Chains A and B, each alone.
Chain A
């Protein structure tokens, strides 16, 4: 049985998201992030004996963990690739905690990164590369716009069932932009208003351009080790209190519900393992590929009742100064979605906040953070509860 609090995050490393990787490869960026995390943890590379990677953005998937280990010249006792879409990064942390708790490895490097190439991403081939055969055969003939149309279906249905408004969804993008303005690493730091969001082009009605992530290049690394109070002299320790996962569908067309996601079960499992409740959480890092993703997450985790997410975000300050700080780095909406590492940015930001190292955007109450990774169209969910020791 997994023992919560026995494992901790001892090191983080993250590159500034960029729109131009300068000809570097995913491996180059991942190696840079790994070096930063090892330094941050006060470890030597030779101390790393476990490796969990998320998939590459453009390189061959074949033997990917082996490719990464070779580049870094690691010879781990355990390694694997975790492919759960946007939930992959959070899920590497859960799996690393299991491996470390079981004594299989001592220091597990969780590594994520990718290059964004517009020429590949915004083509028929790029869209098909992220579709199942069933989606290619039975959805593609009707012109879905990748993940955009899936999340648009959710937003429209939520508006129909609960009267959620475009203004309420836009508020999420506005609050996260305020957070990004306090983060020098963020890609987008110009102030925006609800009117700006609603005046941005309707890409897939009801979702506007400023409610949709901007893919970019970057990398992010986290090191998970057995917890010991004197493990890392440089930083306050951050422990993994628990995690929970849930899966119900691949394509949103076949989800049990458009408006209630498996985040509900994933977060309940994480709360049960960690022995805490929604009301105990001080800050959240919620996977934000779209504004509607954040709204559904807040409801399903229990910060408000199902259907009341619109009113909740309208009346709740989600900035680092607010009553429920959410995506204090700006989230992927304002920081950029660094391929699979976009999901890791939610982990690294929670760690910065729990350590008290978030600078001008440091939240006041920082005992307990909830991180959620979401993949596909609300398809794969991994919820982490992280806390100060």
Chain B
């Protein structure tokens, strides 16, 4: 696995969501990669995120062909707009299905799935 992938997941397993940040472009980069996709330079540095964001859109998955998820339905697959200006696909947890909505404020949480720590999101009280 490339170093940037390793670093991302190592940070996650120690409870931190860090993304590459390019000071030249003043932009965060998601998903991790070798070069900043805006300037194509490797001047980026890792920065920890606030973990705050909101639901940009979501779907409630009722039918899944994925073995890990067939017993999890219905579950919320969501696109999270992070406070730092990038969008990240994730799950919304601890949220009743009738309370999920576009614009819902969320905050970072972690779950274990298949022996791997994953960053997910849960509703945030404002």
Contacts and interface: CB of A to CB of B under 8 A. Distances in A.
Interface in B15-66: 30-31, 56-66
B64 A137 contact: no
B31 A124 contact: no
A51 B29 CA distance: 40
Contacts of A251: 89
B96 interface: no
A145 interface: yes
A205 to B, nearest CB: 4
A204 B59 contact: yes
A204 B74 CA distance: 9
A143 B56 contact: no
A160 B66 contact: no
Contacts of B114: 141
Nearest to B5: A137
A184 interface: no
B63 A149 contact: no
Interface residues of A, number: 35
Contact of B67 (A124, A142, A153, A207): A124
Given A141-B113, A160-B102, A253-B89, A204 B57 contact: no
A270 to B, nearest CB: 28
Contacts of B59: 149, 152-153, 156, 204-207
A149 B61 contact: yes
Nearest to A140: B66
Given A123-B65, A146-B65, A153 B57 contact: yes
B91 A143 contact: yes
Nearest to B92: A142
A201 B65 CA distance: 15
Nearest to A202: B62
A144 B76 CA distance: 9
Nearest to A157: B57
A63 interface: no
Contacts of B87: 253-254
B77 interface: yes
B116 A141 contact: yes
Of listed B75, B77, B114, residue having the most chain A CB within 10 A: B77
13 contacts: A138-B30, A141-B113, A141-B118, A142-B90, A143-B68, A153-B58, A160-B101, A160-B103, A202-B60, A203-B63, A253-B79, A253-B87, A253-B88
Interface of B: 5, 30-31, 56-69, 72, 74-75, 77, 79, 87-91, 101-103, 113-114, 116, 118, 120
